[in-house]
Structure 1
């Protein structure tokens, strides 16, 4: 009995020792241009669930791409998370992202919100639409982005600077939809209708509509959501209108935050698994609640503030196609004097 007890104890001890000796899952290094305090809690949850450590470095999207390019094969980054379809497209075209095969990502992310070559995938939607002052503009007067170039809006339009990627992507969408000549005419009309100087951020633009500096403007919905979360009555002064309603009008412009596995990833398998997890239904709800973006996964529930804006028709244009016109859009904006 003593022998068998000793043997069993030794065997149990050996199993425990082997279990303790198992290597920890390889860490995943993430370069991200998203605000750290919005992203880190989600990544911490992934670590708690999987045991995978996440090394996070945050900076501006353009700076991160330049860093990846400069680091080359010595880069520690496994994942690039950035905002704007132009940044995603440019990173892919520069060879900074690799193609990955993932049936799960293909199922979770609609085809028009991912790269056709599998180099990047959208993780949240950032709709850019029309906002107006209800006391001075009626919803029936509004229709499309294109209509805001009409002289009837002269001196009434607020816009964000053309130096910002969100403006550039909207114009890139116009180029993809209409071609350069018509897109240029639209942008020229916008400039002619400006109520004053362009704004450096959408928050100031929305506040300007409320203050009566202009009657109508174009902004990202999540800025509106942020204001409403702090000032619920702001919705009485500024309201949202879904641009280009219906498929015949082309639908509202949807920008993205998204991610890809880096070309020189040391842990590409771990990177792919992280992206799959981020695109899953339950995580998408957490990823977008409080940011006032819309989930990329259509099964996930949006934040209640976002849900209150109602359903809309998104543009069916592929995000990669829009991103490919970004450089052309910048040149167009310069030509029409959109500063």
Structure 2
């Protein structure tokens, strides 16, 4: 049975019901093309169909409105903040699985079992090959150095990825130091924050700035796009670290809903997504880092270089997100 993707507005989610015993219903923030190969492989192996509703906005509100009648078994999303939001809203349930606990490192899963990381991505620096040497950026702290004045581009700092980075900075350095860092970074901007991570690389290619923040997997996406390959070819990836620690990582992840009408089948899908086979598909298809340490990165991703991940547990990042967002707004970073 071929997995079916159901696209459209949040209202279309109702078509997932009623659920059948040999199905799993997924509400996904992830773009369909990024997850469909995984669901096809799962269906081929188990005979269990996967019905997917792509939900860009309003996932928590939808699950709360549906309550115990929700057809959704699993939610899949990106960023620790979004995972924390569904858990905090009370619309998930804890999962106890020796398979998941063995496959996924402790720092990439909820201690209470409400969410599990599936892939990771580093928040790195894209740097001009022509104007920035490889050793010019070694830490996130460096980004506030006046030597970068007028040379940095970034998307909005209220975006999930930058809020998570700021929360990690806050965990490492505290409130006062984080405020100073945000003010210094803002002073170094070449232009007002806008666009997405890839558009910042375009700005480097166009000579508007020299470095930008971005997620690693966007390099793979740009290289595969004929219109964007020139942007990607103009930059190199640098892996900054927090002083005394490593490079900031974020995750994509999965959680089981509180209603989960197909709980057993949903658990099978969760465990499959942490398997060697699924993790290899993630690595090759999405240009992300497998969450399972024993699974190799793709050849392309491995070519970007080695780095030491930050040791900070992502639950700490999620906890500090509101405080980080408050600091970003207080310094009027995007203003």
Aligned residues: 313
The 2-side partners of 1:132 and 1:218 are apart by 9
Q: Does residue 239 of the first structure (1) align with residue 236 of the second (2)?
A: yes
User: Larger radius of gyration, structure 1 or 2?
Assistant: 1
Deviations 1:241-261 (A, max 9, x none): 11118xx63211111100011
In the alignment, the residues of structure 2 paired with residue 79 and residue 154 of structure 1 have an alpha-carbon distance, to the nearest angstrom, of 45
Shift of the alpha carbon at 1:229?
2.9
Kept in 1, the 8 Å contact 2:37–2:281? The answer is: no
Structure 2: runs of 5+ lacking an equivalent: 1-19
Residue in 1 aligned with 2:50?
Answer: 54
What pairs with 1:127-138 in structure 2 (closer than 5 Å)? 127-138=122-133
Is 1:175 matched up with 2:137? Answer: no
State the distance in 1 between where 2:177 and 2:262 align.
46
2:224 alignment partner in structure 1: 229
Match of 1:8 in 2: none
Picking from 18, 34, 37, the partner of 1:38 is 34
Superposition map of 1:18-33 within 5 A: 25-33=21-29
Q: In the alignment, which residue of structure 2 is the partner of 1:110?
A: 105
Please give the alpha-carbon distance, in whole angstroms, between the structure 2 residues aligned to 1:206 and 1:182. Answer: 28
Residue in 2 aligned with 1:85? 80
Report the counterpart of residue 97 of structure 1 in structure 2: 92
Deviations 1:91-128 (A, max 9, x none): 11221211111111111111111111111000111211
Which stretches in structure 1 are left out of the alignment for 5+ residues? 1-23
1: CA distance between counterparts of 2:244 and 2:237? 17
**In 2, are the aligned partners of 1:114 and 1:121 still within 8 Å (CA)?**
yes
CA contact (8 A) 2:94 2:112 kept: yes
Aligned partner of residue 260 in structure 1, secondary structure: strand
In the alignment, structure 1 residue 250 sits paired with structure 2 residue 250: no
In the TM superposition, what whole-angstrom CA distance separates every residue of 1:219-248 from its partner, at most 9, and x where no partner exists?
111111211234666554201111118xx6
Decide whether the 8 Å contact of 2:202 with 2:231 is kept in 1: no
TM-score scaled to structure 1, two decimals? 0.88
Distance 1:204 1:330 in 2: 23
Q: Point out the more displaced range, 329-338 or 263-272.
A: 263-272
Please tell me whether the aligned partners of residues 128 and 221 of structure 1 are also in contact (alpha carbons under 8 angstroms): yes
TM score, norm. by length of structure 2: 0.89
Q: Offset at 1:329?
A: 1.6
Q: Report whether the alignment pairs 1:303 with 2:292.
A: no
Instruction: Measure the CA separation in 2 of the matches of 1:55 and 1:133.
Output: 42
Task: Write the deviation string for residues 33-88 of structure 1: whole angstroms up to 9, x where unpaired.
Answer: 1011221221122112111121211112x521221122111111110100000011
CA contact (8 A) 1:154 1:192 kept: yes
Q: Which residue of 2 aligns with 1:275?
A: 270
The RMSD of aligned alpha carbons is 1.6
Larger deviation: 113-122 or 282-291? Answer: 282-291
Residue of structure 2 in register with 1:261 after alignment: 256
Alignment of 1:111-126 (within 5 A): 111-126=106-121
Quote the residue 2:287 is aligned against.
Answer: 292
- State the distance in 2 between where 1:88 and 1:143 align: 30
- 2:141 alignment partner, one of 146, 169, 193: 146
